[in-house]
A and B are shown apart, each in its own frame.
Chain A
Amino acid sequence: MSDFGFTRRRVLTGLGAGVCAMMLRPIAALAFSSSQAEALIHKAVDDINAIINSGKSERAMYVDFEKVLVRYADTPSIARSVLGPPARSASSGQLNAFTKAFQTYIARKYGSRFREFIGGKIQVNSSQKINSIYDVKCTAILAGEPPFDISFIVHDRSGKFIDLQIEGISLLKSERAEIGAMLDKAGGSIDKLTAALS
């Protein structure tokens, strides 16, 4: 019988959104610290906990979730990164449109897993600085399930999170593979990919 190497731990949540690219430099100049990275994720997690226990409809939760992404994650950089090398030749208008479509797609895709999170919570445990990133380790505690590990990866350059790992599975890498495959299907056209996402 196939289990395809899967368990429910590979449940997914979300990625991020952000600040205008040019704004990153001045922020980066400030020394970002481990405690700031933890504080950021504490706030993000509080917002997420409030959403999953708000009793709102799934649709309304997607909208709220997208707001959390925009606020705490660096979506323009994430969007650029998942596009890969084709992002270099794209115009800023194309990139902006793609970023917008991408963050809505992420909110919807991972937000649809929120049903499994209702009544649960995420707690922040500790953080660890590794080169220019902070790994903020959390535990997701869901009703009737063994707790599992999630990690927010915060970059000191943007002071926002750029990845979320669930039991080691990186959503950034996963979306790089997924968006790459979708771009191939769109014949390499970023405009067609953007249209397909929204």
Chain B
Amino acid sequence: MLAAHLSRPLALVALLALAGCSAAPGPDGINDPYEEVNRGWHDTNIALDKAVIKPVSTAYGTVVPDPVRKGLSNVSDTLGIPGVVVNDVLQLKLGDALHNTARFAVNATIGLGGLFDPATGMGLEERDADFGQTLYTWGVGEGAYVVLPVYGPSTERDALGVVVDIVLDPVGNLLGNPEASYKTGLKVADLADTRYRYSDLYESVLYDSADSYAQMRLSYLDNRRYELGTPIVAGAETADQTTTYDLYEDFYE
């Protein structure tokens, strides 16, 4: 039963490992063979933001008071913790697994079902993990950059991670209907809150850049590699990292 449950993602992992091996980043550290398709999805996502996401999050942000939005986002975060613990275990980070289990226990009880976040004040701050990161620790390559419909920037490795996280999520698997859709609703509310809270920042990148696609791609890859702990300038890790700061070599040619 469990084996059947796991065989699907594992087959995907095997496929991805192959994909990850064949793809190497270019001299700028970017591996984007699907650029044409990606740009198409990027434009679609921007149109979607303009037509739906932005107006909905503005309405949500304006109508619902800040503490309520924050509380709902906290509940959504708390419901996500068991999935994080699964990834901690898969990465053999048992300290983080305990940390996050304690965080879940505190916020689910004293935090009134996750509405509040007393755990952070007790030294049990948020420590995220996801299956994309798990794949990274297992040595799977990043693969190509991809823009997913609605979701936005990702890589082949992270896109697989997103799917597997849904499959492995203990909370999602425990909940029947309609509870599962409440959880999805909370996630949507959380994203709308983020979109509203940082609207200046989103809009400066999405709408004021000369090439918003290139900006999103760079920011996503830089930030994701940083989260995963890729060193900023490390030997010959990637061509990108050795050339980024060669300002002066070129200068004195």
Contact = CB atoms under 8 A, between A and B. Distances in A.
A83 B126 CA distance: 40
A130 B232 contact: yes
B223 A1 contact: no
A172 B218 CA distance: 11
Contacts of A10: 201, 205, 219, 223
A24 B248 contact: yes
Given A6-B201, A24-B248, A168 B227 contact: yes
A191 B156 CA distance: 40
Contacts of B227: 167-168
Contacts of B224: 5, 168
B219 A1 contact: no
Interface string B203-238: 011100111001110111011111100011110000
Task: Output the residue of B48, B126, B192, B209 with the most chain A CB within 10 A.
Answer: B209
Given A130-B232, A173-B218, A6 B205 contact: yes
Contacts of A185: 210
Q: Which size class do A's interface residues fall under?
A: 35 or more
A103 to B, nearest CB: 16
B45 interface: yes
Contacts of A112: 204
A127 B159 CA distance: 34
B6 interface: no
Nearest to A182: B210
30 contacts: A1-B150, A1-B191, A2-B48, A2-B195, A3-B152, A4-B49, A5-B152, A5-B216, A5-B224, A7-B194, A10-B219, A77-B248, A80-B251, A131-B233, A153-B232, A153-B245, A165-B226, A167-B227, A168-B223, A168-B232, A169-B219, A169-B226, A173-B244, A174-B219, A177-B214, A178-B210, A178-B214, A180-B214, A181-B210, A181-B214
A77 B227 CA distance: 29
Contact of A7 (B198, B222, B245): B198
A100 interface: no
B45 A2 contact: yes
A168 B226 contact: yes
A165 B152 contact: no
Interface stretch (A38-46, A63-71, A118-126, A155-163): A155-163
Q: Which size class do B's interface residues fall under?
A: 35 or more
Instruction: Please report whether the interface of chain A is mostly helix, strand, loop or mixed according to DSSP.
Output: mixed
Contacts of B225: 168
A157 B153 contact: no
A133 interface: yes
A165 to B, nearest CB: 7
B233 A8 contact: no
Task: Output the residue of A3, A81, A132 with the most chain B CB within 10 A.
Answer: A3
Nearest to B206: A4
Interface in B24-60: 45, 48-49, 53
B63 interface: no
B93 interface: no
A5 B195 CA distance: 11
Contacts of B195: 1-3
B244 A172 contact: yes
B233 A5 contact: no
B234 to A, nearest CB: 7
Given A133-B245, A168-B227, A177 B211 contact: yes
Contacts of A151: 232
A180 B30 CA distance: 16
Interface string A69-103: 00000100110110000000000000000000000
A173 B220 CA distance: 12
B107 to A, nearest CB: 15
